[in-house]
Copies of this chain bind each other. A is one copy, B any other.
Amino acid sequence: MNNQQDIGNILYKWASDLFPINRSITGQGVRDTLLYLQNIVPELEIKSIPSGTRVFDWNIPKEWNISDAYIIDPKGNKIAEFKKNNLHIMGYSVPIDRTISFNELNKHLYSLKELPTAIPYVTSYYKEDWGFCLSQNERDALTDGDYHVFIDSTIEMGVLNYGELILPGLSQKEILISTYICHPSMANNELSGPVVTLGLINWLKDVNNRKYTYRFVFIPETIGSITYISINYNLLKERVLGGFVVTCVGDDNNYSLLESKFQDSIFDKIGKHVLKHHTNNKYKTYSFLKRGSDERQYSSVGVDLPIISLMRSKYYEYDEYHTSLDNMEYISPNGLSGGYTIHRKAIEILENNETYKINTICEPQLGKRGLYPLQSTKDTQEQVELMMNIIAYSDGEMDLLSIADKVDGDFFICKTIADKLINSSLMVKVNG
Contacts and interface: CB of A to CB of B under 8 A. Distances in A.
Interface of A: 55-58, 126-127, 222, 225-226, 229-230, 233, 261, 288-289, 296-297, 299-304, 357-358, 360-365, 367-368, 374, 388-389, 391-396, 406-408
6 contacts: A58-B365, A127-B367, A289-B406, A296-B392, A301-B361, A302-B358
Contacts of A301: 357-358, 361, 391-396
A292 to B, nearest CB: 10
Contact of A57 (B304, B365, B392): B365
A226 B115 CA distance: 69
A391 B296 CA distance: 10
Contacts of A230: 361-362
A296 B361 contact: no
B56 A407 contact: no
Contacts of A361: 56, 229-230, 233, 300-303
Contact of A300 (B58, B296, B363): B363
Contacts of A229: 361-362
Nearest to A228: B362
Q: A297, A299, A300: which has the most chain B beta carbons within 10 Å?
A: A300
B367 A57 contact: no
A126 B367 contact: yes
B233 A300 contact: no
A274 to B, nearest CB: 22
A358 B297 CA distance: 13
Contacts of A396: 301
Q: A365, A389, A393: which has the most chain B beta carbons within 10 Å?
A: A365
A151 B363 CA distance: 32
Contacts of A365: 57-58, 126
Contacts of A393: 301
Contacts of A394: 301
Given A301-B361, A301-B395, 19 more contacts: A56-B361, A57-B362, A58-B362, A126-B365, A126-B367, A127-B367, A222-B363, A226-B362, A230-B361, A261-B392, A288-B392, A297-B362, A299-B392, A300-B362, A301-B394, A301-B396, A302-B358, A303-B361, A304-B395
Nearest to A358: B301
A58 B360 CA distance: 10
A374 B124 CA distance: 11
A213 B392 CA distance: 28
Nearest to A367: B126
A407 B302 contact: no
Given A299-B392, A301-B395, A394-B301, A56 B360 contact: yes
A368 B233 contact: no
A201 to B, nearest CB: 26
A378 to B, nearest CB: 13
Contacts of A225: 362
A300 B359 CA distance: 11
Contacts of A360: 56-57
Contacts of A126: 365, 367-368
A408 B287 CA distance: 12
Q: A299, A303, A363, A408: which has the most chain B beta carbons within 10 Å?
A: A363
Contacts of A289: 389, 406-408
A45 to B, nearest CB: 22
Nearest to A396: B301
Nearest to A59: B365
A56 B362 CA distance: 7
A377 to B, nearest CB: 14
Nearest to A368: B126
B300 A57 contact: no
Contacts of A407: 289
Nearest to A233: B361
A297 to B, nearest CB: 5
B300 A226 contact: no
A391 to B, nearest CB: 8
A93 to B, nearest CB: 17
